Amino acid sequence: MLPSDFNDERRFYDVWEAVEIVRPVNYSLFTFGSSELPYYLVCPPGPDQHLASVRKGQVNIDRPLIITPDNMAPEFRDFFEDAADEGIIDFLLSRTASFSNLKLTNRSGETKLVSDSVEEIVSRLNRQLDDEEEDRVAILTAPAPLAGVALLKYATERVLHSAPDNVQELRERGFLP
């Protein structure tokens, strides 16, 4: 392993660990078609801010019904505000995970400055989701520059968690032995 590879891996690990899924969801993605992953993203105050922010959004993961040469590679839309941050996708795909045939699209709402405490916002959102008996909305926390990484981590964990159920469904439908 070259020293530069180690530095890239260490940087990736540090970035990956800086984001957190504080309220996970526990359902599988659909084997075929589209799945929706709603979330709240809470970011601590930045250097020029005094209030933490919260943004509601949704990641849509589309799996093709028919695999063609045009949909073999993964596609990520609206995950990163800065094109330089997309290097994290290249690193992840080249070393740890396979997202072939997936199209991931992020749709996020307006960011609101609401409190000086991330913990307060998370607690309030948890109470709200519990009161609504909502178990399909995740709560993520991340520094604002790592918002795209938080969404990528959330989507990655759902894809990996869903794989055994998806393989079983393929077997039941006769697509696998």
Please give the biggest Cα pair distance in the chain.
57
Q: What pLDDT, on a 0 to 100 scale, did the predictor assign at position 112?
A: 87
- What is the spatial distance between Cα 174 and Cα 18, in angstroms, rounded to a whole number? 42
134-143 pLDDT, tens digit per residue, is 999 999 999 9
- What is the spatial distance between Cα 106 and Cα 140, in angstroms, rounded to a whole number? 14
Quick one: which of 61, 85, 59, 76 has its CA closest to 144?
85
The token pair that represents 153 in the structure block:
């981590």
Q: How many CB atoms lie within 10 A of CB 42?
A: 26
Q: Residues near 33 by Cβ (< 8 Å), separated by ≥ 6?
A: 62, 63, 65
Q: What pLDDT, on a 0 to 100 scale, did the predictor assign at position 8?
A: 72
Q: What pLDDT, on a 0 to 100 scale, did the predictor assign at position 71?
A: 45
> What ranges make up the beta strands (E) of 44-160?
52-63, 75-77, 103-108, 112-115, 138-141
End-to-end CA distance of the chain: 38
70-86 pLDDT, tens digit per residue, is 544 455 666 666 655 55
Query: β-strand 52-63 against 75-77: which pairing, if any?
Result: unpaired
Low-confidence ranges of the chain (pLDDT < 70): 1-6, 63-101, 175-176
Q: In this structure, which amino acid lies at residue 163? A: A
Average pLDDT of the chain, as a whole number: 79
Q: What pLDDT, on a 0 to 100 scale, did the predictor assign at position 57?
A: 95
Place of tokens 């849509």: 60
CA-to-CA dists, residue 118 to 41, 61, 63, 122, 125, angstroms: 10, 28, 34, 6, 11
Q: What pLDDT, on a 0 to 100 scale, did the predictor assign at position 6?
A: 59
Q: What pLDDT, on a 0 to 100 scale, did the predictor assign at position 66?
A: 45
Q: What pLDDT, on a 0 to 100 scale, did the predictor assign at position 70?
A: 55
